[in-house]
Amino acid sequence: MIRTMASVLALTLVTLLPAAADPVRFAVTDIEGLEALQQEFGGFEKALEKSTGLEIELIPVSSRTAAVEAMNAGHVDLVLTGPAEYVIMKELSQPRIVVAWQRPDYFAQIAVLANGPIRTLEDLKGKKIAFGAVGSTSQHLGPAQALTDQGIKYNEDYEPVIINRNVAAEALIRGDIAAVGLNFGHLSSIREAFPDAAFAVLARGRDLPNDILVARKDVSEDVFTKVRDAFLKDGNALMSAVLTGDDNKKFKGGIFLTDIKDEDYDYVRSMYRTIGVDTFNAFVE
């Protein structure tokens, strides 16, 4: 009888203990595999846990489409993504904006050979221009928009071709293409990779909208507030943790921006329209 009463008491105490909160699951759309994700964001994971008091779990996703599916299925709570991806995610998942991650010197350019035949935008007409990954904000959409903003129409005034940027640089040097669309950082890396060639910038776009952290639309208000407030009060510490990842060096010198609205990404929507995409319910492949 005493043993039975002790068992009942133990069961009652266990029942009264608060259930452990589920971890807040964090994904990044442009990093594949858990090992790579931990290398880039392991330090940030710990810093965000310290700032919020929440358990953060890094969840790898194989693609931007997989990130949307995971969010809609409730398997992921937070997703860090690029501006072009955000526009599509907004249509497919209706996520809530938490904070933007500023990338200094994040703009698109059109590069040509400094000693080549292309000297003006008019010289590009009837020629081939290479762009990077389809749907990339800074390698495809942004450069195309930079030209459109200056009156050079996509797929009308020139022929767009999709080529890896190092291959495109080689094609540019050979004279197979007239120009390459890419971002500031990529042009710097090409200059290092091809020191015997000289490149010039023929057109530059405006600064691009920032990468953005979004929360699943039905994430709890408590979690949403704690995460957003962490970036407000501990932004410097979180950014220091972010910068321990090699790929994350692109955020060096940037800050976290919490006063961000969906309409801030309308410029990205105009980029999609420039390449002939008028609806935002699927990723461009």
Structure tokens at 92: 């497919």
Using CB atoms within 10 A of its CB, is residue 213 exposed (0-12), middle (13-18) or buried (19+)?
buried
Cα separations in angstroms, 25 against 65, 104, 120, 227: 17, 27, 49, 12
Confidence of residue 18 (pLDDT cuts 50, 70, 90): very low
Architecture in CATH of 21-104+209-274 = 3-Layer(aba) Sandwich (3.40)
The Cα 131–Cα 144 span in angstroms is: 8
Scan for tokens 């949403």, then name that residue: 224
Q: For residue 127, how many other CB atoms are within 10 A of its CB?
A: 15
CA distances 146 to 81, 83, 176, 269, Å, are: 22, 16, 22, 14
Using one digit for the tens of pLDDT, what is the confidence trace for 205-264?
Answer: 999 999 999 999 999 999 999 999 999 999 999 999 999 988 999 999 999 999 999 999
End-to-end CA distance of the chain: 70
CA-CA distance, 187 to 166, in Å (whole number)? 10
86-88-90-91 Cα dihedral, nearest 10 degrees: 180
pTM more than 0.75? yes
Close Cβ partners of 29 (under 8 Å, ≥ 6 residues apart)? 61, 63, 64, 67, 79, 80, 81, 82, 85
Residue 15's pLDDT band (boundaries 50, 70, 90)?
A: very low
Give me the residue spans of the domains in the chain: 21-104+209-274, 108-206
Question: What pLDDT score was predicted for residue 215?
Answer: 98
pLDDT digits (tens, 9 = 90+) for 55-103: 999 999 999 999 999 999 999 999 999 999 999 999 999 999 999 999 9
Range 108-206 classified under CATH 3.40.50.720: no
Give residue-wise pLDDT tens across range 137-189: 999 999 999 999 999 999 999 999 999 988 999 999 999 999 999 999 999 99
pLDDT of residue 13: 45
Domains 21-104+209-274 and 108-206 share a fold: yes
Looking at residue 245, its pLDDT comes to 87
